[in-house]
Amino acid sequence: MNIDGKLTAKKLRSELAVEVAELKSSCGIQPKLTVILVGEDPASQVYVKNKIKQTQEIGMISDVIKLPINTEQDELLGYLARLNNDANIHGILVQLPLPKHIDESVIISAISPDKDVDGFHAMNSGRLFNGDSGALIPCTPQGCIILAKQHLGNDLSGLHAVVIGRSNIVGKPVSMLLLQENCTVTIAHSRTKDLASICRQADILVAAVGIAKFVKVDWVKAGATVIDVGINRISTDDGGTKLVGDVDYDSVVDKCAAITPVPGGVGPMTIACLLKNTLAAAKRSVH
Ligand code: GUN
């Protein structure tokens, strides 16, 4: 069966909308997200447009600062300093990737950890690593856990989770979250030996490698829960293109117990969790 990310994200957004209204009426605070977009990458423009639209749909304020591709790193740092000091802004997001002449890690470190709604700042990854409740947690990993729980219920204790991929944005943080849920966690990656047999042990299999249809049916244990984080555009026989995940969905769907489809699985949850983080940052700003 499919785990419906679109529906789960919709439900989460409507719950958040209620909380946004409550925060406004009780404290006079309306959460605000500011996004910085450098350059004109078409995919980034679509992502940013969706982030802005969805924040506003649930009653938050949001705006975009659009900067030209040749913006200097120092100029970007100047914008971040102003946003960090603006008490009316609760969430700051710098859309990635940045142009080559800008050092992403310098930029991420310059965002106030309290406003880092992507959860990419070392302070937030450190808090996640330590299991501190105050962490702002990266959005896609949060979405993965919510979707796994849609099928398995809230208690993931003792399950063997295999994560394929070790990126700072997905692989590492989702592994930490699964560990917090008392899973036994294996982190596999491109150098892992006998990946197929490790994946076959998984009760929860998270694929975050960025290779279309990488995970084959014989890598999946019957009855497993499969969370597919990949978004890969491939050519179709009729000369068009389509989006597919990191899992060979058509064969795996009949063997596993539940799988997140692509599109319509993890993708919609990412922005919903960004809204969740923005609300959390706004709430914390009150205290
Ligand atoms: N580019 C692609 N995904 C993301 C994301 O989750 N956050 C940011 N800041 N940039 C991205």
210-240 tens-digit pLDDT: 999 999 999 999 999 999 999 999 999 999 9
203 lines ligand 1 (CB under 6 A): no
- Known catalytic membership, residue 6: no
The three state secondary structure string of 158-198 is: CCEEEEECCCCCCHHHHHHHHHHCCCEEEEECCCCCCHHHH
The number of helix segments (H) and strand segments (E) in the chain equals 10, 10
Domains and CATH numbers, the chain: 27-112 (3.40.50.10860), 139-267 (3.40.50.720)
pTM: 0.96
37 lines ligand 1 (CB under 6 A): no
For residue 240, the SS3 value is: coil
Select from 48, 118, 278 the residue to mutate for testing ligand 1; criterion: most ligand atoms less than 8 Å from CB: 118
**And the tokens for 181?**
């849920």
Select from 44, 47, 52, 105 the residue to mutate for testing ligand 1; criterion: most ligand atoms less than 8 Å from CB: 47
The mean of the pLDDT values for the chain is: 97
- The H-or-E segment that residue 258 falls in is strand 258-259
234-287 tens-digit pLDDT: 999 999 999 999 999 999 999 999 999 999 999 999 999 999 999 999 999 987
- Known catalytic membership, residue 118: yes
- Residue 206 clears pLDDT 90, i.e. is over it: yes
Q: Ligand 1 atom 4: the closest Cα is on which residue?
A: 96
Which residue out of 116, 118, 203, 246 is catalytically annotated?
A: 118
178-190 tens-digit pLDDT: 999 999 999 999 8
Using CB atoms within 10 A of its CB, is residue 20 exposed (0-12), middle (13-18) or buried (19+)?
Answer: buried
What is the distance between the alpha carbons of residues 238 and 218, in angstroms, rounded to a whole number?
29
22-45 tens-digit pLDDT: 999 999 999 999 999 999 999 999
**Ligand 1 centroid to residue 95 C-alpha, Å:** 5
**Ligand 1 centroid to residue 220 C-alpha, Å:** 29
